[in-house]
């Protein structure tokens, strides 16, 4: 009998532990008006929901225990309530309107919310701070789904880049506070020109695929929105110091006034970074400053932002030649020349130098509780050059006559040259945002203009022709205007089902005039008119299950390199069209969460990388008739025990060009070249690994200490579109270890310390390369020849970061 009683007690306890409860309630404002769309989160778990059109919410499947509920809404003060849950509980919240306009309104028109049916990843201030050591933005984002980051220097700073779903930076739309960041001509983003930008970022949203309409060019792989630092109510000051391998030293100082008289605030940051590179002769010498001033009241927000950047970087974009990769893995051919005795020398000033400044004036007005207006002005100025030593260049290449010396004719010489870019990008963006009951809508209008001068000087010649000082051998100009307008509407048909519609119109005109650096005339005007529609549905079964599906069409114009290179080769180049189909499912529980996203991206005339670069390091592209990218993205987070969390993602994909036709260069015994077309059938798209994954295991083993084990796997990828084993990058698996210490003191500065070991297992890996092939004949057979230049990454290296907050 005692055994039966004990068994019944055990079964009763198990049943009690297995029992789940719910928290339901209503969120209202101070006048008891319901607040639809308010966010309701359970702190320390993966569970959250939003209120319905009546301001009501319900969170189910919660086990017995203590919880903290966080409720927030744009322009209202956040409310936290703690609860000990032993039964189904009703909990109401009343939110008080903030005394100042929320800065989230600045990006609300282009930022996706939790009900927007797109694949998205959001990083908050803590996520950014954890990753912010010395590496640039691409490496900070490399742990998010489908991202591959690469560095020319091998250390994560200097010239860095990334691809998302195999798409490079020239096809990823980037905005800062809703202002376009992509260079208007190259369409890329050069993070080296924005040193330590991450220290002034408060939030980041990545939308993969076509995503929602935004300002600037259309997204062909992803869009990324950065929001700079927002209001700190109280005065603050921060000091940061980073030191590590490769003589890396970064110092930063920031301060803010907090809110003065409930109306004004001022913020400032200055950063300086000096570092050598893993690649020989590479280095970074960077300085940056961030300034902002803001005016707030209940209905208005006026904010001025200035970001100043200055960088000098050793040129490393030539890569390591294939014949050197096994003997001198970090060899850098840029700047190498030979003296009269045939001895190898190095030109010490083989550098890239650039100054880039951003100016933004942001204004938001809450016209009513339902309606708000954003109106923003911006300007970005850029000026700089890169300097090279050139050996044996022909005078004719610079529009100069040979030198006649007696009976000798000198046709070539060594020289030092500078290639300059001087440009300005300016315009306005605006949006009218409506949010009430079942409708969330935005109407946006933007117009931007770019003016850029490209020119080059000869600074020195070994065999000196009679030329003026700083002889300018070429100059061309580029002007581009870009107008876009979009309308987005999100409508909640029921409490669980919502529809999303979005259409954007873009009008672009791009004009080039004058000769390029090879003296070929670039004169041309290209006009484009695009309509980019998107549609989607979102179904929220409950706070545990969410489904979405979306379809989007995007069109995008060729960039400057595409147009000028195809002009020189007398080949047509046209715009690209992408039809993107996606569907996703999210499961959230107290201790774990899973996300699945399926995508099929069908391209018409996609511009794919050929594996070649031009003389300035820009990728050369070509249109292919039909191609697609399809895959599955898996995201997960799990908290199996207290203080332990494992987060990660996995992308499995196929990236295919249909019926690809390659063009081969053939050389006969007399060194005469000809080109032949070869039908290759379906091939993998260049630089598109079929497997990408990332993982972070975090364990808080003491009150202030957290241990992080960080892993990244990238599958094999081809550097051109021929699937040749000779032009393939091997898969790599790299692991980092990071130890975090954070402690807040009452009467002393808050202290944060990080110790980071990158590539802890000292893996030799290569993240990027470029190259090509040609054919030679021995008189009987044609033999394929390959050349490749690699970008190897550093082995094990260390970084230490100290931060003090006052």
Structural domains present in the chain: 1-98 (2.60.40.1120), 225-805 (2.40.170.20)
Quote the CA–CA distance of 598 and 304 in Å, as a whole number.
40
Query: DSSP for 289-322?
Result: EEEEEEEE-SSEEEEEEEEEEEEEEE--TT-EET
Lowest mean pLDDT among 132-136, 334-338, 575-579, 687-691: 132-136
Please check the confidence at residue 17 and state whether its pLDDT lies above 60: no
Please check the confidence at residue 16 and state whether its pLDDT lies above 50: no
3-state SS, residue 575: coil
Query: What's the whole-number mean pLDDT along residues 407-417?
Result: 91
Query: What's the whole-number mean pLDDT along residues 541-555?
Result: 94
Which of 267, 329, 256, 323 shows the shortest CA–CA distance to 293?
267
Please check the confidence at residue 466 and state whether its pLDDT lies above 80: no
Query: What's the whole-number mean pLDDT along residues 7-19?
Result: 46
What is the reported pLDDT for 670? 66
Q: Judge contact between 786 and 769, C-beta under 8 A.
A: no
H or E segment and range at residue 22: strand 20-29
Residue 648's pLDDT band, with cuts at 50, 70 and 90, is very high
Residue 609's pLDDT band, with cuts at 50, 70 and 90, is very high
Query: What's the whole-number mean pLDDT along residues 125-130?
Result: 88
What is the reported pLDDT for 782? 80
Quote the CA–CA distance of 367 and 727 in Å, as a whole number.
59
Task: Convert the pLDDT of each residue in 331-344 to its tens digit.
Answer: 999 999 988 888 99
Task: Convert the pLDDT of each residue in 196-223 to its tens digit.
Answer: 999 999 999 999 999 998 888 778 889 9
Please check the confidence at residue 114 and state whether its pLDDT lies above 60: yes
Please check the confidence at residue 18 and state whether its pLDDT lies above 60: no
What is the reported pLDDT for 101? 67
Please check the confidence at residue 786 and state whether its pLDDT lies above 50: yes
Query: What's the whole-number mean pLDDT along residues 302-330?
Result: 95
What is the reported pLDDT for 688? 97
Please check the confidence at residue 669 and state whether its pLDDT lies above 70: no
Q: Report how far apart, in Å, the C-alpha atoms of 201 and of each of 142, 229, 269 are.
A: 17, 5, 11
Quote the CA–CA distance of 117 and 536 in Å, as a whole number.
6
Share of the chain above pLDDT 90, in %: 69
What is the reported pLDDT for 362? 96
Query: What's the whole-number mean pLDDT along residues 98-105?
Result: 71
Q: Judge contact between 296 and 282, C-beta under 8 A.
A: no
Contacts of 290 by beta carbon, 8 Å cutoff, 6+ apart = 199, 200, 228, 229, 254, 267, 268, 269, 305, 306, 307, 308
What is the reported pLDDT for 404? 87
Lowest mean pLDDT among 189-193, 210-214, 464-468, 517-521: 464-468
Task: Convert the pLDDT of each residue in 230-254 to its tens digit.
Answer: 888 899 999 999 999 999 999 999 9
Task: Convert the pLDDT of each residue in 565-591 to its tens digit.
Answer: 888 876 789 999 999 999 999 999 989
Both tokens of 177, joined, read 């506070």
Which of 590, 625, 587 shows the shortest CA–CA distance to 607?
625
Lowest mean pLDDT among 89-93, 275-279, 348-352, 607-611: 89-93
What is the reported pLDDT for 8? 41
Please check the confidence at residue 6 and state whether its pLDDT lies above 50: no
Query: What's the whole-number mean pLDDT along residues 408-419?
Result: 93
Please check the confidence at residue 791 and state whether its pLDDT lies above 90: yes
Query: What's the whole-number mean pLDDT along residues 415-430?
Result: 96
Residue 15's pLDDT band, with cuts at 50, 70 and 90, is very low
Partners of 21 in the beta sheet? 62
H or E segment and range at residue 563: helix 560-568
Which of 380, 383, 360 shows the shortest CA–CA distance to 184?
380
What is the reported pLDDT for 587? 94
What is the reported pLDDT for 55? 85
What is the reported pLDDT for 14? 41
With 0.85 as the threshold, say if the pTM is over it.
yes
What is the reported pLDDT for 75? 73
Task: Convert the pLDDT of each residue in 337-370 to its tens digit.
Answer: 988 888 999 999 999 999 999 999 999 998 988 8
pLDDT averaged over every residue in the chain = 91
What is the reported pLDDT for 4? 47
Q: Judge contact between 161 and 193, C-beta under 8 A.
A: no
User: DSSP secondary-structure letter at 561?
Assistant: H
């Amino acid at each position: 009998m005692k055994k039966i009683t004990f068994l019944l007690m055990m079964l009763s306890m198990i049943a009690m532990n297995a029992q789940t409860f719910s928290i339901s309630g209503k969120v209202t404002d101070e006048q008891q008006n319901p607040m639809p769309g308010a966010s309701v989160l359970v702190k320390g778990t993966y569970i959250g929901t939003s209120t319905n059109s009546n301001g009501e919410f319900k969170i189910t499947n919660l086990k017995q225990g203590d919880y903290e509920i966080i409720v927030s809404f744009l322009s209202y003060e956040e409310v936290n309530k703690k609860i000990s849950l032993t039964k189904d509980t009703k909990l109401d919240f009343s939110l008080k309107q903030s005394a100042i306009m929320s800065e989230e309104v600045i990006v609300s028109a282009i930022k996706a919310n939790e009900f927007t049916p797109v694949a998205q990843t959001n990083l908050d201030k803590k996520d950014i701070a954890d990753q912010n050591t010395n590496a640039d933005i691409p490496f900070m984002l490399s742990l998010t789904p489908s991202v591959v980051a690469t560095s020319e220097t091998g250390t994560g700073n200097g010239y860095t880049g990334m691809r998302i779903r195999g798409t490079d930076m020239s096809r990823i739309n980037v905005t800062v506070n809703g202002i376009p960041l992509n260079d208007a001509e190259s369409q890329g983003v050069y993070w080296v020109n924005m040193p330590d930008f991450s220290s002034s970022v408060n939030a980041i949203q990545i939308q993969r695929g076509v995503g929602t309409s935004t300002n600037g060019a259309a997204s062909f792989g992803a869009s990324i929105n950065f929001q700079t630092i927002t209001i700190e109510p109280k005065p603050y000051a921060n000091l940061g110091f980073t030191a590590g391998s490769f003589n890396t030293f970064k110092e930063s100082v920031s301060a803010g006034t907090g809110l003065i008289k409930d109306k004004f605030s001022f913020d400032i940051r200055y950063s300086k970074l000096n570092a050598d590179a893993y690649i020989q002769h590479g280095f970074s010498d960077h300085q940056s400053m961030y300034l902002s001033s803001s005016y707030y009241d209940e209905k208005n927000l006026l904010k001025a932002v200035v970001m100043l950047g200055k960088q000098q970087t050793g040129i490393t974009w030539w890569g390591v030649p294939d014949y050197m990769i096994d003997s001198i893995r970090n060899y850098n051919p840029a700047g190498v020349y030979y003296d009269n005795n045939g001895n190898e020398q190095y030109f010490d000033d083989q550098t890239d130098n650039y100054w880039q400044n951003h100016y933004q004036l942001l204004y938001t007005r809450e016209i009513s509780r339902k309606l708000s207006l954003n109106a923003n002005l911006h300007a970005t100025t850029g000026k700089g050059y890169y300097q090279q030593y050139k050996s044996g260049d022909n005078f004719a290449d610079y529009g100069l006559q040979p030198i006649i010396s007696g009976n000798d004719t000198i046709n070539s010489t060594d020289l030092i040259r500078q290639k300059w870019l001087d440009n300005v990008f300016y315009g306005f963006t605006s949006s009218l945002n409506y949010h009430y009951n079942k409708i969330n809508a935005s109407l946006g209008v933007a117009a931007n203009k770019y003016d850029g001068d490209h020119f080059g000087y000869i600074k020195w010649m070994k065999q000196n022709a009679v030329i003026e000082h700083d002889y300018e051998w070429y100059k061309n100009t580029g002007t581009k205007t870009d107008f876009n307008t979009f309308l987005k509407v999100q409508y909640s048909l029921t409490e669980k089902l919502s529809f999303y519609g979005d259409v954007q119109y873009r009008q672009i005109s791009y004009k080039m005039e004058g000769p390029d650096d090879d003296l070929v005339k670039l004169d041309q005007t290209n006009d484009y008119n695009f309509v980019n529609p998107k549609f989607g549905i979102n179904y929220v079964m409950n706070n545990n299950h969410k489904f979405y599906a979306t379809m989007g069409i995007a069109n995008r114009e060729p960039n400057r390199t595409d147009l000028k290179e195809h002009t020189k080769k007398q080949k047509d180049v046209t715009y690209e069209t992408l039809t993107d189909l996606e569907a996703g499912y999210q499961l959230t529980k107290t201790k774990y969460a899973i996300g699945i996203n399926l995508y099929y991206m069908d391209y018409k005339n996609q511009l794919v990388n050929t594996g070649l670069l031009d003389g300035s390091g820009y990728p050369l592209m070509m249109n292919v008739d039909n191609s697609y990218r399809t895959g599955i993205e898996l995201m997960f987070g799990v908290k199996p025990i207290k203080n332990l969390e494992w987060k990660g993602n996995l992308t499995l994909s196929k990236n295919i060009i249909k019926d690809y036709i390659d063009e081969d260069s053939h050389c006969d015994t007399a060194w005469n070249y000809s080109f032949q077309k070869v039908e290759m059938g379906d091939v993998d798209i260049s630089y598109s690994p079929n497997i990408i994954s990332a993982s972070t295991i975090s364990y808080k083993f003491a009150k202030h200490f957290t241990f992080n084990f960080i892993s990244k796997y990238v599958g094999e990828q081809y550097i051109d579109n021929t699937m040749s084993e000779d032009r393939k990058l091997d898969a790599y698996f790299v692991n980092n270890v990071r130890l975090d210490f954070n402690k807040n003191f009452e009467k002393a500065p808050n202290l944060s310390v990080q110790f980071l070991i990158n590539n802890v297992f000292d893996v030799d890996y290569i993240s990027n390369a470029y190259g090509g092939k040609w054919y030679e004949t021995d008189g009987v057979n044609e033999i394929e020849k390959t050349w490749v230049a690699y970008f190897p990454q550093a082995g094990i290296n260390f970084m230490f970061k100290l931060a003090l907050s006052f």
